[in-house]
Amino acid sequence: MSEAPRPLVVWLVEDSVIFRRAAAEVLAAEPGIRLELAVGSVEEMLAAVDEGLAPDVVLLDIGLPGLDGIEGARRLRTLRPQARVVMLTVHEEDAAVFEAICAGASGYLLKPLPAARLAAAVREAAAGSAPINGTIAKRILDRFSSLPPPPVGDAYRLSAREREILTALVRGLTQRECATELGISPHTVDTHVRHLYEKLHVRSRGGAVAKAVRERIV
């Protein structure tokens, strides 16, 4: 008999006691998810890292007392680069969105959000997707359209298909959604994504999206 898959280890960092308790109840009831930590500050999260704990996915509020969520994401990505970080916020400011992406966030969701969406975001992030609120995804695309044209030339030598996939990743599509939109197989998308990581010199989807935003690659 095959062993059951290891549950996803999730941390929740949220200073609102009401939201933290409600979210913790939702996640604790989800099969395949183990809520290991639910705290109200980045400092408490970093203390858990110092103790040797390692999450798969961190749900991280931006507006925290002390160190904010963006600095928390930046430090966590250095200490636990394999962890996927999904930012939670009640704000939509463009500066915060881009700073969070550049800090290594894998997703960005607006509160309040349905309980089912919270659990789905954890699974999407763990699977390598980027859970992003639709409103925020549109703001990212609008921001791209307002930027001046990128410099002539392509230092990363991306193919046309790789550019299409990178653009889709920035829009928040999952790899399966990319496959459907482009009319190719999920396996082909996965191959292109791995090539993207190699060419962009990154190790994660968040890193690829952050580089695309910073350097206006797409």
pLDDT in tens, 75-134: 898 898 889 999 888 766 656 777 777 777 888 888 878 777 888 889 988 887 777 756
Q: Which of the pair, 216 or 8, is modelled with greater confidence? A: 8
Split at pLDDT 50, 70, 90, the class of 157 is: confident
Give the pLDDT of residue 1: 47
CA–CA dist 129, 40 (Å, integer): 26
Averaged pLDDT for residues 21-25: 90
The model's pTM is: 0.65
Q: What are 30's two structure tokens?
A: 């989800």
Whole-number Å distance between alpha carbons of 98 and 105: 10
Q: Do domains 8-139 and 147-215 have the same CATH topology?
A: no
Long-range contacts of 22-29 (CB under 8 A, 24+ apart): 22/115, 23/59, 23/115, 23/118, 26/115, 26/118, 26/119, 27/118, 27/119, 27/122
Residues 85, 60 contacting (CB under 8 angstroms): yes
pLDDT of 149 over the 60 cut: no
Answer yes or no: are the C-beta atoms of 88 and 66 closer than 8 Å.
Answer: no
CATH architecture, domain 147-215? Orthogonal Bundle (1.10)
Per-residue confidence (pLDDT) for residue 56, from 0 to 100: 94
R_g (Cα) of the chain, nearest Å: 17
The residue extents of the domains of the chain are 8-139, 147-215
Q: How far apart are the first and last CA of the chain?
A: 47
Report the alpha-carbon angle 192-196-201, nearest 5: 155
- Tokens linked to 13: 């960092």
**Chain mean pLDDT for the chain:** 82
DSSP designation for 120: H
Distance CA 77, CA 72 (A): 8
**8-139 has CATH 3.40.50.800 classification:** no
Angle between helix 205-215 and helix 186-200 axes, rounded to 10 deg: 60
Six-digit token pair at 45? Answer: 């999260």
| 126: Cα within 13 Å, side-chain hemisphere | 20
What average pLDDT does the segment 174-182 reach? 86
pLDDT tens string 56-89: 999 999 888 899 998 898 889 889 888 999 988 8
